[in-house]
Amino acid sequence: MQIFPCPFCGPRDEREFHFATEAGKPRPEPADKVSAEDWAAYLYANEAPRGEAREVWLHLTCGEYFVMTRDTLTREVKGSETLPGRRA
C-alpha cells in the first residue's frame, strides 16, 4: 500500500486517491477543428512510461486534483504539486 502526498492534506494512504490522467495533455478544441486522430489520441493514447511519470491524481477525501511525479517501476514518489496556478 503506497503513501501519496496530497499537496493540501499531506501524506495519505493510496486508497484515498484516484488516478485522473497523465499530466500535460491539453484538451484539443474547438471540437469542429479537431481531427479524429487528435481526438482519439487525447482520449486513448497514453505514454504509460516505465520509470518517471507525471500524473494528475485526485485526493477523494478533500476533492482536490494535483500533479504527482512518481516512478512506475520502483514506486518511489518524487513529489507532488498543485495544478498550475493553484496554491495549497
Partner 1 sequence: MSGWRLDRGGEIDRDRPIGFTFDGHAVTGFAGDTLASALLASGRRVLGRSFKYHRPRGLWGAGAEEPNAIVDVTEGGVTTPNLRATLEPLREGLALRSVNTWPEAARDRHRLLDRLNRFLPAGFYYKTFMAGGWMRWEPMIRRMAGLGRLDPANAPPADCAQINARADLLVIGAGPAGLAAARAAARAGRAVWLIDDGDAPGGSLRWRGGDIDGGPWRDWCADTQERILRAGGKILSRTTLWGAFDHGLYAAWERRCGAPDRLWRIRAGDVILAAGAIERPLWFANNDLPGVISAEAALRYLTLHGAVAGRRIVLATGNDGSYPVAAALARAGCDVTLADARGDTPDAPEGVDLRRETRVTGAEGRDAVARVRLNGVLQEADTLLVSGGLTPSVHIFMQAGGRLDWDAECDALIPRAGSASMRVAGAANGAFALADALAEGHAAAGGAGNAPRAEAAGDWGVLPMRPDPDAAGRQWIDFQNDVTLKDVALAQREGFVSVEHLKRYTTLGMATDQGRTSNFAGLAAMAGLTDRSIPETGTTTYRPPFLPVPLTVIAGRRRGQLFDPPRRLTLERAHRAAGAQLREYGGWLRPAHYGDDEAEAALREAGVARETVALYDASPLGKIEVIGPGAAELLDFCFFTRLSTLKPGRARYGLMLSETGIVFDDGVTLRLAGDRFIVSASSSHVDGVRLRLEDARQDRFDPARVFLHDVTAHWTTLCVAGPRARDVLRAAGVPVDLDDAALPHMGVTEADWNGRTLRIARVSFTGERSYELSVPSRHAEWLESLLAARVGEAGGGRIGLEAVLTLRAQKGFILIGKDTDGLTMPQDLGWPNRREDEFIGKRSLLTDEALRNDRRQLVGLTATDGGAAFTAGAHLVPLDAARRSLGFVTSVAPDPGAPHALALLESGRSRMGESVGVFDNGAVREARVIAPCAFDAKGERLHA
Residues engaged in binding partner 1 (CB under 8 A): 1-3, 14, 18, 20, 27-32, 34, 36, 39, 42-43, 56, 58, 60, 63-65, 75, 77, 83, 86
Identify the residue whose cell numbers are 505514454.
47
Q: What radius of gyration, in Å, describes the C-alpha atoms of the chain? A: 15
Could you tell me the smallest distance in angstroms from the CB atom of residue 48 to partner 1?
A: 19
Could you tell me the smallest distance in angstroms from the CB atom of residue 81 to partner 1?
A: 13
C-alpha–C-alpha distance, residues 80 and 88, integer Å: 11
Could you tell me the smallest distance in angstroms from the CB atom of residue 16 to partner 1?
A: 13
**Residue among 1 and 48 whose Cβ is closer to partner 1:** 1
C-alpha–C-alpha distance, residues 88 and 83, integer Å: 9
C-alpha–C-alpha distance, residues 54 and 80, integer Å: 9
C-alpha–C-alpha distance, residues 18 and 7, integer Å: 15
Could you tell me the smallest distance in angstroms from the CB atom of residue 61 to partner 1?
A: 12
**Residue among 18 and 78 whose Cβ is closer to partner 1:** 18
